[in-house]
Amino acid sequence: MSRSNETNGVELVFIGVAVFLLAVIGWLMKTFDVGWQTALETAPSLIVWILAVGAGIFFGIKMETGLVRWGAPLAIALLIPVFKPILKEAAGVRDVGGLVFDDMVSWYGTGWGMSLMFFGILIVGYGLLYWWHRRNSYYW
């Protein structure tokens, strides 16, 4: 066998990553009914989020710490910045030719609306965890 006929491992990894990225973009377009550009803006941050949460769960279980439990509200809240392009499009923000049309935008498409959702999820999530921890503790 000559070396030119063999498939390089790096090429297979690149093709696999490209196919996975296209699959995520297709899923975003189908699930949220958004355009190609919006799905393309959302996909990389979603993939990074999936990898980070997966690593957190893996190391949290491996090290037997409370990382999974105490990291869950933050992981859920971080979905707001991940899905920011989709939220903006669903709220009515349109970017046409460099001009941004945001005259009739729903509250969840604005910066303060996304901040409100982000911090609301954090407050409720960590509040519930604190309450459950305090309720199940015999030392309080």
Strand duo 94-96 + 99-101: pairing: antiparallel
pLDDT band at 37 (very low <50, low <70, confident <90, very high): very high
For the record, the structure tokens of 74 come out as 């933050």
* Mean pLDDT across the chain: 87
* Mean pLDDT along residues 30-50: 95
The per-residue pLDDT for 134 is 83
**Is 89 or 93 the better-scoring residue by pLDDT?**
89
Res. 96: pLDDT tops 80 = no
Q: What are phi and psi of 96, to 5 degrees?
A: -120, 115
**Is 122 or 138 the better-scoring residue by pLDDT?**
122
Burial track 130-140 (b if 16+ CB lie within 10 A, e otherwise): eeeeeeeeeee
Render pLDDT for 49-64 as a digit per residue (tens, 0 to 9). 999 999 999 988 888 7
- Look at residues 75, 83, 98, 95 and name the one whose alpha carbon lies nearest to residue 41: 83
The per-residue pLDDT for 36 is 94
- Which residues are registered as beta bridge partners of 95? 100
For the record, the structure tokens of 42 come out as 């959302």
> Can you give the C-alpha Rg of the chain in angstroms?
21
Answer positive or negative: Cα dihedral of 109, 122, 75, 135. negative
**Is 99 or 44 the better-scoring residue by pLDDT?**
44
DSSP 11-60: HHHHHHHHHHHHHHHHHHHHHH---HHHHHHHHHHHHHHHHHHHHHHHHH
Tell me the domain boundaries of the chain. 3-135
Is the distance from CB of 93 to CB of 109 less than 8 angstroms? yes
The per-residue pLDDT for 32 is 94
Render pLDDT for 66-79 as a digit per residue (tens, 0 to 9). 788 889 999 999 99
Res. 38: pLDDT tops 90 = yes
